[in-house]
Amino acid sequence: MPSFHLVDAFSAVPFAGNPAGVVVLDAGPVDATWAQQLAAEIGASETAFVHPDGDAWRLRWWTPAAEVALCGHATLATAHVLFEADAVPPDSACRFQTRSGELRVVRRRRPDGEVLAMDLPAWPLGEHAEPQPLARALGGADGRYLGRTRTEQPNDVVEVASAATLDAIEPDLAAVRALGVTGLIVTAEGEGEVDLVSRYFAPSVGVDEDPVTGSAHSTLGPLWATRLGRRQLLAEQRSPRGGRLHLDVGDERVEVGGHAVTVIRGEVAT
């Protein structure tokens, strides 16, 4: 039977960060219909399905409603499971073959302890006319439209004046859905030791508000690195569960790091 793990990603303690399901298979390919049904049954914002693929691992991700091209927190969670099971040597990179190309996760030492660091593709912003439902999507909050990511899994990005403004947003989820994109990233400059803050809404793929979104920082990292004039950043996603991410921004890649903790282990019975 496939093993199942529920992992809180971007958190060092249980019941915070972003929970991801991880299903480890002995071999592939993954049956897409079964994976979608199981992801809906699990109910996490994303569930990862992984199996050996030569000297690497084949990785796919499903929300409760759809397969997605990239999911950062479930990638982090999967690497955590494989490292924890000694399926990958501790001093090696965990290599994944995915729809978004090869992704690597390594262990890194940070001031707050060891983190898992994912090497993700940078998702730059492209120019795009401001979508009509945007003001309604923000629930009446004032925001500046920054553009749309040029990716298979596009997001609209909006900047607001402060972390307090960000926290107060009550989005109109029907209007967010009407944007015609995967999700809406809302961001602001951080406070204190935190360089940037964000929230992410993706009702079109069954995730009203994602607790912590690694892939969103493939866009936020380059954006704020340019703004702030430095490549190493500390980000905070301010959902009710919340989480922090260590970012190291390159020219075409973004290393996104964080902690992870396993909360549930078991088997898939069907």
Active site residues: 46
- Cβ atoms of residues 185 and 198 within 8 Å: yes
One-character DSSP codes across 187-223: EEE--TT--EEEEEEEGGGTEEEES--TTTHHHHHHH
**What is residue 80's DSSP assignment?**
H
Q: 56-77 burial, b if ≥16 CB within 10 A, otherwise e?
A: bbbbbbbbbeebbebbbbbbbb
Nearest-angstrom CA–CA distance, 217 and 258: 12
- Cβ atoms of residues 197 and 222 within 8 Å: no
Identity of residue 213: T
Encoded tokens for 254: 């973004």
Q: Which backbone phi and psi does 88 adopt, to 5 degrees?
A: -130, 130
